[in-house]
Structure 1
Amino acid sequence: MRRLPQVKTLVIKIGSNILTNNSTIIDNNYINNLAKVIGELKSQIENILIVSSGAVAAGIQVLGLQEKPKEISKRQACAAVGQPKLIQIYENAFEHCGLKVAQILITKDDFSNRRRYLNAKYTIRELFSNNVIPIVNENDTVVVEELKFVDSFGDNDNLSALMAGLIGAELLLILSDVDGFFTADPSKDKSATLISEIKYFDSKLLGMAGDSITSVGTGGMKSKILAAKKALNAGCYVGIINGKDPENIKRFLNGDEIGTYFSHLEDPLKKRKLWIAYAAIPKGEIVVDEGAKKAIVNDKKSLLPSGIVNVNGRFNVGDVVRIVDQKGKELGRGKVRYSNIEIEKIMGKKTAEIINILGYKFSDEVVHRDDFVLSDFLEG
């Protein structure tokens, strides 16, 4: 039996391939069974949030299409038609279990904007206090990137990790169409074996995980591994299980050794740094000299104006920017305490000169160490 942490807040991620049984038709019976399981879990887990794909698949069904459209505009139309249909199916299923659901559609811009990020957090907190289960999906009707299989959130695996960090979940449970994480693709390699527990990330893990795109979904095992890494960095344990049978959710939470459990949290990022590292879109970049590079990377120091040699892009106080060396290599990302116009005036100068140059001083640091994340956390 596994020893899981006490779970007060749980995030469950469900992909289109699970909701449709790898077809283009939403499986209503599956959602009914899922609602029943979650209804039973509510007696022991206070807060449950679902990150659900399926809007495009539901739209395909509503519009009577035979396959997933290739054109982005048609996929967006499917999402627009399918999202209300999908939430209606969820609503009906959970109503039979005496539970209410809420629809939350979100884009990466909502995470990039600190105010909207916090508003989303407070909204979900209020929903939890009213015993409501939030159903979260990326807003495919206005977001092009996921529909092109390019990084917006990338896919709902990544979104689920960000949501877990946003709400401070203890466990993220990713429902897959396979039994967990294997040493190789089990559909191609009969010698592949299931890895029951993962304690440390290394380069071999990504090598074992392959990309896959189904007729209705966008994610593969690699996206799940990257999502697991992000969730762990937010202080959230992760499980990847076969979600075709919703009862597996209860089995995993009861400690049965099914699926793959990411069991070790080492130096998790602070919640504010999670936002900087994974959610915020950089507005520009600051180029630093070798002395500043050593100070922020090796000596764990803040970035001062004296070490800055150039500024690219336009940004304001509080925006996130890339910090790069003079060869263009990204060292990390940080939240700036001065705008690009102000930095252009004070770069290369000592901190004592800031007030004389600008007529005011917000801070000695352009990027404080507490608002900086090294590129190690940004790489897959």
Structure 2
Amino acid sequence: MRALTYQSVTKVSVEDVPDPRIIDPTDAVIKVTSAAICGSDLHLYDVFDSYLDKGDILGHETMGVVTQVGSAVGRVKVGDRVVVPFVIACGDCFMCDRGLFSQCETTQVTEYGSGATLYGFSKLYGQVPGGQAEQLRVPLADANLVTVGHDLPDERYLFLSDILPTAWQGVEYAQVPEGGTLVVLGLGPVGQFASRIGVHRGYRVIGIDPVPERRAMAERHGVEVLDLTKDIADVVSGMTDGRGPDSVLDAVGMEAHDHGGVTAVQKFAAVLPDKVGQAVLQKAGLDALGAMHLAFEIVRRGGTVSLSGVYGGTADPTPFLTLFDKQITLKMGQCNVQRWMDTLMPLVEDPADPLGTMDLVTHPVPLAEAPAMYELFKQKDDGCIKVVLKP
């Protein structure tokens, strides 16, 4: 089959690789019909080289049709149309029973002290081949595959794999009071959905992003939008009675704009031998923290900051004086995708499409164009907000 593979820092290519097969009796194999590029894929593209091997298949936002099932698979059958949550969980351990699927004790990557195994996401999370490919092997298929109908287009369902539940969890964690104000930092795919979810719930939502096309998209869905300017904290304060918003959701993470120092460390670690690079990231890894620190600055006293954007640094400076003095609640974590399926499915299948799933994809392209799309998405060129690959 053809698959998008990692080659080296900022270099990926579509190659011929072996077809996936049933390894364990709880496995299934799907024919991929759609696979998206996520902002998290960019972290692998240009930061985490020391945790990747040449030829690793990337991608964790996937859906398709089941073509094979193992002998122990009972709920899922050949021919089912399915969405694949990016978190691989058993569904019945201590953590899964508490809705913490991303901490599944059955699939935790204990070698690196990480949570549940993820598709296409480096050795840190199990090095399981990802879904930017023509086919995908799905471990623990009964616990992980989400069956959907055949009538609606892929774009209605695809984002249940990651960014829609990630956005929903982020808004849940933001603890916005009834009728309150939510600021969303970053209007990429997760920020777009988080903003729309906030509007859907009746909050006042203010979205901040430096990219005009992203602001325009959010504005179509009832979001008040602002450019990222030097005086943005003062602007937000003036819009919220001088107090700041009740809650801030950081949908940017380590992709925040950097003035050079953090990026230099990341690039340095990426070109070192694997073991050395891993040691640097484990002991001195840094993130660009502009978005997080802005969230701490603008949220009102007693408010909540929710981190949906991914952070991976182990030596990040954190302004605890500000957090403590302002009595800020901070909530974060990898999305527990499976936990939110029953809540989100009716919204996704609603004919009115209240979360605008059909207004997100800007670049639907063949799988063969994936390498160019990685760079386009990274640079935010050509109005690129969301790329969907069609194998």
Task: Give the TM interval when normalised to the shorter protein.
Answer: under 0.3
Q: Determine which structure has greater relative contact order: mean sequence separation of CA pairs < 8 Å that are 6+ residues apart, divided by chain length.
A: 2
Which structure has more helix as a fraction of its residues?
1
